[in-house]
């Protein structure tokens, strides 16, 4: 299984890695490495993009996914013969500007989920805009008030902490799982928990900022009616 180095250091922009497999696909080919800083699509967060450097050559990584065996697949548009062979040591370079925006937005969505006391039924992290869907019942939402509360949390500069707990711990406390549509990542025995002290504590496999002070100012730009009780709340950078 690929070592997910982005958990050890989510701020690593470059890393050396060894090619463990190359696979032809309909659109090009995919590469696997012994370790990676590229986050794979999951939990509403897009897969990372970037570049592979090897032998004075470069190949663009256009997406990152996780395969059924939990190995991380780096997708390219290149032909199989253009990729480094198995055993080659390469340098992986992340599109850091894109990733850091995803980190900011993902953490901001946890803040939004903490502000709105309702189950989350869906969500999508984006570079410039994101959304969360809520089953709100009779709860009334106000864009201006939510925007003010979000930015108040951001300027607090609270630091996040991360820990891994046994799946049995989460099974014993199912109320910790706010997101109905995306199950916490399971299968490895432990589940990653993200804590924003005094604000939120949730299972999450995504990448996050270290401090709320890293998040650029945000605006709740729109609240859409997506059914009798479902509301879609849109976030954008100010």
Q: What is the band of 102 on the pLDDT scale with cuts at 50, 70, 90? A: very high
Same domain, 86 and 10: yes
pLDDT digits (tens, 9 = 90+) for 4-56: 999 999 999 999 999 999 999 887 899 999 999 999 999 899 999 999 999 99
CATH number of the structural domain spanning residue 114: 3.30.980.10
Instruction: Output the pLDDT for position 103.
Output: 99
Backbone phi, then psi, for 148, in 5-degree steps? -65, -45
User: From CA 121, how far away is CA 232, in angstroms rounded?
Assistant: 9
Instruction: Output the pLDDT for position 80.
Output: 93
CATH number of the structural domain spanning residue 11: 2.40.30.130
Q: Is the dihedral of CA 209, 213, 216, 221 positive or negative?
A: positive
Tokens of 231: 């509301």
Instruction: Output the pLDDT for position 183.
Output: 59
pLDDT digits (tens, 9 = 90+) for 205-222: 999 999 999 999 999 999
Question: H helices of 116-185, where?
Answer: 143-155, 167-172
Instruction: Output the pLDDT for position 179.
Output: 58
Q: What is the band of 57 on the pLDDT scale with cuts at 50, 70, 90? A: very high
Instruction: Output the pLDDT for position 170.
Output: 76
Instruction: Output the pLDDT for position 188.
Output: 61
Tell me if 176 sits within 8 A of 202, measured CB to CB.
Answer: yes
Q: What is the band of 173 on the pLDDT scale with cuts at 50, 70, 90? A: confident
User: From CA 220, how far away is CA 58, in angstroms rounded?
Assistant: 39
Domain end residue (candidates: 59, 94, 129): 94
| Mean pLDDT score across all residues of the chain | 93
In the predicted model, is pLDDT for residue 186 greater than 80?
no
Instruction: Output the pLDDT for position 184.
Output: 62
Domain end residue (candidates: 34, 63, 94): 94
Q: Which residues pair with 52 in a beta bridge?
A: 59, 92
Instruction: Output the pLDDT for position 178.
Output: 65
User: From CA 89, how far away is CA 206, in angstroms rounded?
Assistant: 27
Backbone phi, then psi, for 135, in 5-degree steps? -90, 90
User: From CA 63, how far away is CA 2, in angstroms rounded?
Assistant: 16
Same domain, 155 and 195: yes
Tokens of 91: 């340098």
In the predicted model, is pLDDT for residue 196 greater than 90?
yes
Same domain, 124 and 225: yes
Domain end residue (candidates: 94, 119, 137): 94
Instruction: Name the pTM for this structure.
Output: 0.93
Per the structure, the count of domains in the chain is 2
3-state SS, residue 6:
helix
Tell me if 215 sits within 8 A of 112, measured CB to CB.
Answer: no
Residue span of the structural domain in which 158 resides: 98-237
Average the pLDDT over 224-230 and give the result.
Answer: 89
Average the pLDDT over 63-90 and give the result.
Answer: 94
């Amino acid at each position: 299984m690929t070592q997910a180095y982005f958990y050890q250091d989510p701020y690593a922009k470059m890393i050396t890695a060894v090619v463990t497999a190359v696979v032809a696909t309909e659109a090009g080919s995919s590469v696997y490495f012994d370790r990676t800083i590229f986050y794979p699509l999951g939990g509403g967060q897009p897969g990372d993009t970037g570049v592979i450097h090897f032998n004075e050559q470069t190949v663009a990584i256009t997406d990152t996914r996780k395969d059924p065996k939990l190995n991380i697949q780096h997708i390219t548009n290149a032909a199989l013969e253009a990729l480094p062979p198995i055993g080659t040591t390469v340098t992986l370079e992340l599109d850091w500007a894109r990733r850091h925006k995803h980190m900011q937005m993902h953490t901001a969505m946890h803040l939004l989920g903490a502000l709105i006391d309702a189950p989350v039924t869906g969500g999508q992290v984006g570079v410039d805009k994101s959304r969360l869907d809520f089953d709100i019942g009779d709860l009334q939402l106000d864009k201006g008030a939510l925007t003010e509360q979000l930015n108040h949390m951001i300027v607090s500069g609270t630091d996040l902490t991360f820990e891994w707990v046994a799946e049995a711990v989460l099974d014993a406390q199912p109320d910790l799982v706010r997101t109905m549509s995306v199950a916490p990542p399971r299968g490895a025995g432990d589940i990653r928990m993200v804590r924003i002290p005094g604000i939120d504590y949730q299972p999450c496999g995504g990448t996050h900022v270290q401090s709320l002070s890293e998040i650029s100012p945000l605006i709740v730009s729109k609240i859409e009616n997506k059914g009798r009780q479902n509301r879609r709340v849109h976030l954008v950078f100010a």
